[in-house]
Amino acid sequence: MQTDPKQSEPRNPSGRAPDAGEPVPAPAPLPAEEGAHASEPITSDPGRMVAAPALDHHAMAEAPPGAPATPADARAGGQLLTGAAARAALSPIPLSPGRLAWRKLKKNKLALSGGVVLIVLYLVALFAPFIAPYGYTSQERGSNFRPPMPVRLTPAPTVYEVKKSRDQFLKPIFIEDASRPLPIRFFVRGEPYKLFGVIPTNVHLFGVEGGKRIYLLGSDQFGRDYLSRLLYASQISLSVGLLGILITFTLGLLVGGISGFYGGRIDDVIMRLCEVIMSVPDFYLLLALAGTLPPTLPPVQVYVMIVIILSFVGWAGMARIIRGMVLSVREREYVEAARSLGVSDFRIIIRHVLPSTFTYAIVSATLSIPGYILAEAGLSFLNLGIRDPMPSWGNMLSAAQNLTTLEQRTWILAPGVMIFLTTLAFNFLGDGVRDALDPKSR
C-alpha cells in the first residue's frame, strides 16, 4: 500500500511533496497530449493493499512535451502508420475513450477469461446457499475429517456410503461400501435457508436422501461438509474485497481530492497522517488493529469491523496518489473557469477535478481487490479475522497449520486454490483494464 504520486519527487514517506509554489511536472495528460501521457504502469502485488504505480522516467522526462505535430500523430503515438491503420487513425469520427477501451478489452483473451471466471465465482457466491447441500454449521457427529467421496457417473451419479473403521495402526479410516450406493438427486429438499437473504426456501441443487450426507470435498474436524463451507465462505471472502475497496475508493478520492484542491495546512496535515499510516508495513497495522477486536464480538460485527480495518489500512495510499493528480489538475483552465462561474468548491472537486483521476482509480481498484481478499484471508488464517463458525477461505485454511492434518488430509487446501483462482482472475482482468485504458497502447 505504499503508493506515491510518481512526479519529480522520489518516493518520500516523510518528505514534502512539491507544493503549489514549486514547479510540478504535470503527471496527468492534457487532452491533446495523449501521445506523451505518462502511462504510469500500475503494479499490483497482492502483498500490498493498494496498487502502486511504477515510475516511468521517460514519460517524465518528456513532460511537459511539445505538442505532437498532428492529432493523428498523437493517436499513433508518433509511429508511422500505413493503410487501414492510417485510415482508422485519421477517421473523422473518433470513438469515445470508453468505447475504445471496451473494444481493446474485448480483444484481450486473458482479461476476458479473467472476467468470465469472476462472473462465475460471484454468481456461485450469490447462489451459494442453493448450491451448497448443507448449511455451514450443520454437523454430523463422528464424521470428522472424512475424505472426499468420489462420484461414480455410471449408470447415474452416485456416491457410495462410507463405513468407518480402523486400519492396521488403529488410525480411523473410511472405507467405501460398494454395496450401499447413494444416488445423487438434484433439486432436493434439504435444510431451510433464505435465498439472497429474503426468499425462504429449502431446495438445494443436489443432495442425497435417506438421512445420509454427501461429502464431495470431505468434512472438517467438526464434521461439517467442506464443500458447503467453501461455498458460504466464498460469499464472505469475495464480498469483503468488494466492500473494502468501495470504502477505500470513496475515502481516498474524497480525502485526496480535498487535500490536493485546498493545499496549505489541510494538505499538510492530511499528508502527514497518510505518511504515518503508510510508513508501517500494512500487515503489521492489520495485525495490530484486528488484534484489538474483543473475542466475544458476534460474527457479523466482526465482519463489519474487518472491512473497516481493511479500508483504513488502504485509503492512505490511494489518497496520496489522488492528491498528487489533483494538484496538477487544479491549475487547469476549466477549473479556473468553473470557479469564476461561481461553482461551489465541493462541486468543482467532485464534478470537474476528480473525474480526471477516474482512470487511475478504476485500474488501481481492480488491481487492489486481490490485495484485500488476501489480507482478509491472511487475517482469518491467523484467527484474527472472520471467526468460527462463520466460514472464510482464510479460516478454513487455518486448520492446515497442523502438519499432521495437512499431510493426511490434503483436501483442506481447497480454499487456498479458490483464493488463488480469484486473485489470478482479478489480476488478469486488472491487467487487461489497465492496458485498455492506457492511451499509449495503440
Partner 1 sequence: MLLFILRRLLQTVPLLVGITFISFVIMQLAPGDYLTSMQGNPNVNPETIARLRTSFGLDRPWHIQYLLWLKNAVMGNFGYSFTYKIGVFELMGQYVFATLLLAISSMTLSWAVAVPMGVYAATHKNGLIDRMTSFLAFTGISLPGFFVALLALLFAQRTGWFPVGQMQSANYTSLTPIGKLQDVGWHLILPTLVLGTRGVASIMRQMRGNLLDVLGENYILAARARGLKEKVVIVKHAVRNAVNPLITIFGYEIAGLLAGAALVETVMAWPGLGRLLLSAVQSQDLFVAMGSFVMGALMLIIGNLIADVLLAVTDPRIRFS
Q: Which part of the chain contacts partner 1 (CB under 8 A), choosing from 185-193, 235-243, 350-358, 370-378?
A: 370-378
List the helix and strand counts (H, then E) for the chain. Answer: 16, 6
Q: Of 279 and 301, which CB lies nearer to partner 1 in the complex structure?
A: 279
Task: Provide the minimum distance between the beta carbon of 375 and partner 1 in the complex, in angstroms, as a whole number.
Answer: 9
Other C-beta atoms closer than 10 Å to the C-beta of 145 total 19
- Report d(CA 132, CA 192) in Å as an integer: 12
281 sits near partner 1 (criterion: CB under 8 A): yes
- Report d(CA 14, CA 323) in Å as an integer: 16
Q: Which part of the chain contacts partner 1 (CB under 8 A), choosing from 213-221, 225-233, 252-260, 398-406?
A: 398-406
Q: Of 75 and 204, which CB lies nearer to partner 1 in the complex structure?
A: 75
Residues contacting partner 1: total by CB under 8 A: 64
Cis peptide before 27 (omega within 30 of 0): no
Cell of 346: 465541493
Q: Which part of the chain contacts partner 1 (CB under 8 A), choosing from 95-103, 157-165, 258-266, 415-423?
A: 415-423
Cβ(112)–Cβ(106) under 8 Å? yes
Q: Which of 95, 410, 441, 442 binds partner 1 (CB under 8 A)?
A: 410
Cis peptide before 155 (omega within 30 of 0): yes
Q: Which part of the chain contacts partner 1 (CB under 8 A), choosing from 243-251, 272-280, 324-332, 357-365?
A: 272-280
- Report d(CA 132, CA 206) in Å as an integer: 8
346 sits near partner 1 (criterion: CB under 8 A): no
Task: Provide the minimum distance between the beta carbon of 164 and partner 1 in the complex, in angstroms, as a whole number.
Answer: 26
Cβ(145)–Cβ(409) under 8 Å? yes
Task: Provide the minimum distance between the beta carbon of 291 and partner 1 in the complex, in angstroms, as a whole number.
Answer: 3
- Report d(CA 188, CA 41) in Å as an integer: 50
Q: Of 1 and 348, which CB lies nearer to partner 1 in the complex structure?
A: 1
401 Cβ contact partners less than 8 Å away, ≥ 6 residues apart:
381
Q: Of 134 and 381, which CB lies nearer to partner 1 in the complex structure?
A: 381
Q: Which of residues 240-269 bind partner 1 (CB under 8 A)?
A: none
Cis peptide before 389 (omega within 30 of 0): yes
Q: Which of 428, 432, 436, 439 binds partner 1 (CB under 8 A)?
A: 428
279 sits near partner 1 (criterion: CB under 8 A): yes
Q: Which of 86, 120, 151, 288 binds partner 1 (CB under 8 A)?
A: 288
Q: Which of 89, 162, 182, 277 binds partner 1 (CB under 8 A)?
A: 277
Task: Provide the minimum distance between the beta carbon of 118 and partner 1 in the complex, in angstroms, as a whole number.
Answer: 13
Cα dihedral 407→409→413→414 (10° resolution): 160
Cell of 58: 521517460
355 sits near partner 1 (criterion: CB under 8 A): no
308 sits near partner 1 (criterion: CB under 8 A): no
155 Cβ contact partners less than 8 Å away, ≥ 6 residues apart:
none
- Report d(CA 114, CA 423) in Å as an integer: 9
Q: Which of 287, 308, 350, 362 binds partner 1 (CB under 8 A)?
A: 287
Q: Which of residues 11-70 bind partner 1 (CB under 8 A)?
A: 11-15, 41, 43-48, 52, 54-58
Q: Which of 94, 98, 291, 355 binds partner 1 (CB under 8 A)?
A: 291
Cell of 278: 503508510
Task: Provide the minimum distance between the beta carbon of 377 and partner 1 in the complex, in angstroms, as a whole number.
Answer: 6
Cβ(404)–Cβ(412) under 8 Å? no
Q: Of 22 and 331, which CB lies nearer to partner 1 in the complex structure?
A: 22
400 sits near partner 1 (criterion: CB under 8 A): yes
3-state secondary structure of 258: helix
Q: Looking only at Cα atoms, what is the longest distance across the chain?
A: 88
CA nearest neighbour of 261 among 348, 334, 355: 348
Q: Which part of the chain contacts partner 1 (CB under 8 A), choosing from 30-38, 150-158, 338-346, 381-389?
A: 381-389
Task: Provide the minimum distance between the beta carbon of 246 and partner 1 in the complex, in angstroms, as a whole number.
Answer: 22
- Hey, CA dihedral for 279, 248, 393, 305, is it positive or negative? positive
Instruction: Summarize as ranges the residues that interact with partner 1 (CB under 8 A).
Output: 1-2, 6, 8-15, 41, 43-48, 52, 54-58, 272-273, 275-277, 279-284, 287-289, 291-294, 370, 374, 377-378, 381-382, 384, 397, 400-401, 403, 406-407, 410, 413, 416, 419-420, 423-424, 427-428
